[in-house]
Chain A
Amino acid sequence: MASTDISLHNNVPIAHDEHDHEHDHHDQPFIFKYIFSQDHKVIAKQFLISGIIWAFIGGALSSLFRLQLGWPNETMPFLEPILGKWIEGGKLNQEFYLALVTMHGTIMVFFVLTAGLSGTFSNFLIPLQIGARDMASGFLNMLSYWFFFLSSVIMFTSLFLETGPASAGWTIYPPLSALPQAIPGSGTGMTMWLVAMVFFIVSSLLGSINYISTIINLRTAGMSMTKLPLTIWAFFLTAVLGVLSFPVLFSAALLLVFDRSFGTSFYLSDIYVAGQALSNTGGSPILFQHLFWFLGHPEVYIVILPGFGIVSEVIATNARKPIFGYRAMIGSMLGISILSFVVWAHHMFVSGMNPFLGSVFMFLTLIIAVPSAVKVFNWLATLWRGNIIFTPAMLFSIGFVSLFISGGLTGIILGNSALDIQLHNTYFVVAHFHLVMGSSAFFGMFAGVYHWFPKMFGRMMDEKLGYIHFWLTFLGVYLVFLPMHYVGIAGFPRRYYSWTAFETFSQFADLNMFISAAAIIAWFAQFIFLFNFVYSIFRGRRADANPWRSNTLEWTTPIHPGHGNWPGAIPAVYRWPYDYSKPGAEEDYIPQNIPHSETKSSNLSSEKELE
């Protein structure tokens, strides 16, 4: 076991099973306890807090460009103190606008919804829910966070470059991203973007390898793969996707670095820019798109799968009912994960790719609707005849299902190559993925934070503020993204600084203003969450050991678990995690560590032999 070097925190009673080591349990110095910590719980909190900071930055960027889109004819001199030279004569600089959308996408997709979500919950929950003392390698885990931190610092610094940060869109399609002559953001900004992403990928791989080996090797006695909570299944598949697809992004980035800095022509051919014909020949920009989307598509599942897991767990717990179709839920996640690798080119229907490939990818893409539909029906069936407690986590989970339905359904339209001819790169696409992987994933994250906050900090978050936060966010999301579909159906193109020159699009001034107002209000609503989060860490009501009366193992640890999680022996597991409201049971829940011999009244006939 890799956790032999773990030293327990001294306020935990020491009655230790496997290493009665002679460490004297002095307080670790602050720097090792909170900064260079190898404790998965501390690392999870580091990811969470970094993710929250990034989310506010990403949100702020979007508010800036929504200002421009909502009121394209207004001047905004009041932004001058913040943005300096990017405001010219009261108007937002056009290139900076593109930098804003690029950085918003990059930050939200990678730094918040990949690192912030997986980093937080995979780290926090995997050892706690499978019954392990820590990750397989605490050291790699620590490195994973610090590579992420380094990547964050580089990406953040690039915001302040004189030529601006990367601005070729978060998908950084070359040649635009390869040629500083074409857009200034493709100079140093793009270099820093690439360097930051390389560290990010390293971080993500270290994390994923760790999650996978921990789940495979360190499960406690009795915890078979089919007794794992769905959260763990989700994190497991997320990590597998990451390990298989991030290296491809790495290679795409590497080739781009070569093209930018060493004169190669992987992606460049026949280009005349800024009065110069370039000597590059024979490259293909389409190659980059294939490589990029080979990560890019699994990436959206990397973002949403943890949400699936968290929401399944929260819904089952708060509906006081077993998740409906546990095995079907695993099967559908598996199906989605596998399919996610063979659909990447649906982002490229009109890229000039052979139309035959378009047909194949349309077919494969639309199949994903089937396992997704199964998941939705299973969640609905879990709510049916439940006994639903509306905690903020539960509200966010129900909101997640609602947003996932809405956003998932429009995917059926976009996955159809014929329809994509019209809708490609319009606001319909923007609306679709913001609902399904943006907002849904955020809702999954909020559900997770509200649900596991007591385990993280030993205190409860304020419920009333949670309700207000939920309703404002939920309404905000629909008010922003529903009208966005309308302008998208009319062909409104994304990444447009201003649309007033086009007759076709200027009829939507009112809708754009409405969307912008809603988006900015929704962003401000997040400060309620921030306040609640920070306040509750220090002043929240003290939590019970198992505040949600949940079955999973993390609630069998002390309220403030030390490094090593369980002071005594690790509990063994006897049953699946969803024995809620079992007929004949005393309580409406039976934790996983209760043997069947203690629950004779509720055992099903098939379980008699386990007594």
Chain B
Amino acid sequence: MLFLVIGGAAFIWSFQNAEERIHIPVGSVHGVWIDDMFWLTMVVIGIVFVITQILLFYYSYRYQYKEEKRAYFFPHNNKLEIIWTMIPAVVMALLVFKGWKTWTKITDPAPKEAMVVEIVGKQFNWIARYPGTDNALGNVRTNLIDATNELGIDFSDQRSVDDILPSEIHIPKGRPILFKIRSRDVIHSFYLPHFRAQMHAVPGMPTKFWFVPTKTTADMATETGNPDFKYELVCNQICGANHFAMRAVVIVDEPEEFQKWMSTQKAFVADKPELLKNLKNPQGIVLDTKKEGTNKAAL
């Protein structure tokens, strides 16, 4: 009983203490749906939590052993059991329905006008690729990867010639952004807590996640009162020694700022003509790396 009262009070106090910090601000359209769904579920389970824990400790306190007393022989009661099977079933049905609606809306295919950004995880950083003016990403092949061409872009594919690999990740506010997510070594997880966005990056299987950002980095800085606010991209699937340091920053701009930034970016091959030259003879490269790969595997 003592535990219930003190524990309950401590719980409420600690929750209030932490509450402000655990609401990390949300910066996307669907993020709001997720938050709503989360706090709705929290209220439902909060009610059940409070009732059952109070009963548990109250009964334990109230019905302590007394020599002269006899417990009440009460082996079963079908009516009661049906009631308390049905109530959770109905509540769960409602939660499932609402969760299912939210989930489908989030995972539906991205709208056609969505801007495409490719994001590739590797030990231990993220590489972004923009499709350039043709709005199409060029092919990639694992065995074309080397120190310069980190994504293994196949430049014999015409679509790759204007692909951009900027050093920063910028996205415009208010427009659907489709992230095409890949990994080139182990599984990583593309996780943007402020956007309520997460998807694994899986080697050999491209995945995707799209959302509409609603606040620019500057908006967020005002909202949080933190002039240095940054949207952080987090790796959320164990991937090796520096898993904890696999961080990138996503910058959300106003659409016109974004255009300005985009126009300053040059195509990846612009200053690396040797990449195009190498590809005159792609076959040779393929064979070389393959041979090395096999040797390694044999070791």
A residues at B contact (CB < 8 Å)? 94-95, 98, 168-169, 173, 175-176, 179, 181-183, 263, 268-273, 276-279, 281-286, 319-328, 350-352, 355, 358-359, 362-363, 366-367, 369-370, 373-374, 376-378, 380-381, 383-390, 398, 401-402, 405-406, 409-410, 412-413, 416-419, 421-422, 424-426, 474-475, 478, 482-483, 486-487, 489-491, 493, 495-499, 501-504, 507-508, 511, 578, 580-583, 588
Contacts and interface: CB of A to CB of B under 8 A. Distances in A.
B70 A269 contact: no
A490 B236 CA distance: 13
A486 B18 contact: yes
A355 B101 CA distance: 12
B288 to A, nearest CB: 10
A284 B77 CA distance: 51
Q: Give the interface centre of B65, B238, B243, B245 by most chain A CB atoms within 10 Å.
A: B238
Contact of B74 (A321, A328, A388, A588): A321
A279 B289 CA distance: 9
A378 B83 CA distance: 12
A182 B55 contact: no
A499 B246 CA distance: 11
A398 B53 CA distance: 10
Given A374-B81, A402-B56, A409-B48, A182 B34 contact: no
Contacts of A327: 76
B281 interface: no
Contacts, number: 338
Contacts of B21: 486, 490, 507-508
Contacts of B33: 418
A243 B230 CA distance: 50
Given A270-B203, A279-B293, A425-B189, A495 B238 contact: yes
Contacts of A410: 45
Interface residues of B, number: 105
Contacts of B52: 376, 380, 405
29 contacts: A94-B241, A94-B244, A173-B186, A271-B185, A272-B122, A272-B185, A276-B292, A277-B145, A277-B289, A282-B204, A283-B204, A284-B204, A286-B205, A319-B63, A351-B200, A351-B202, A352-B205, A362-B100, A370-B89, A390-B60, A405-B53, A413-B38, A413-B41, A416-B96, A418-B34, A419-B37, A421-B198, A475-B3, A493-B236
Contact of A493 (B11, B143, B191): B191
Contact of B185 (A182, A366, A474): A182
Contacts of B41: 412-413, 416, 419
Contact of B204 (A269, A325, A406, A578): A269
Given A328-B81, A359-B100, A277 B293 contact: yes
A422 B240 contact: no
B84 to A, nearest CB: 5
A479 B98 CA distance: 32
B269 interface: no
Given A277-B142, A326-B76, A482-B11, A383 B196 contact: no
Interface string B52-86: 11011101100111100111111111001100110
Interface string B26-43: 000000011001100110
B125 interface: no
Contact of A373 (B37, B88, B237, B242): B88
B113 interface: no
Contacts of B38: 413, 419, 422, 489
A401 B202 contact: no
Interface in B155-195: 184-187, 189, 191, 193-194
B245 to A, nearest CB: 6
A82 B234 CA distance: 33
A293 B280 CA distance: 46
Interface stretch (B102-110, B130-138, B256-264, B270-278): B102-110
A524 B178 CA distance: 50
A424 B238 CA distance: 12
B197 interface: yes
B239 interface: yes
B7 A502 contact: no
B70 A581 contact: yes
A358 B243 CA distance: 27
B63 A501 contact: no
8 A-B pairs closest in CB distance:
A269-B204, A491-B193, A355-B107, A352-B207, A385-B72, A581-B71, A418-B102, A409-B45
Nearest to B290: A279
A182 B203 CA distance: 13
A406 B247 CA distance: 33
Contacts of B49: 405-406, 409
B115 interface: no
Contact of B297 (A263, A483, A501): A263
B88 A369 contact: yes
Contacts of B219: none
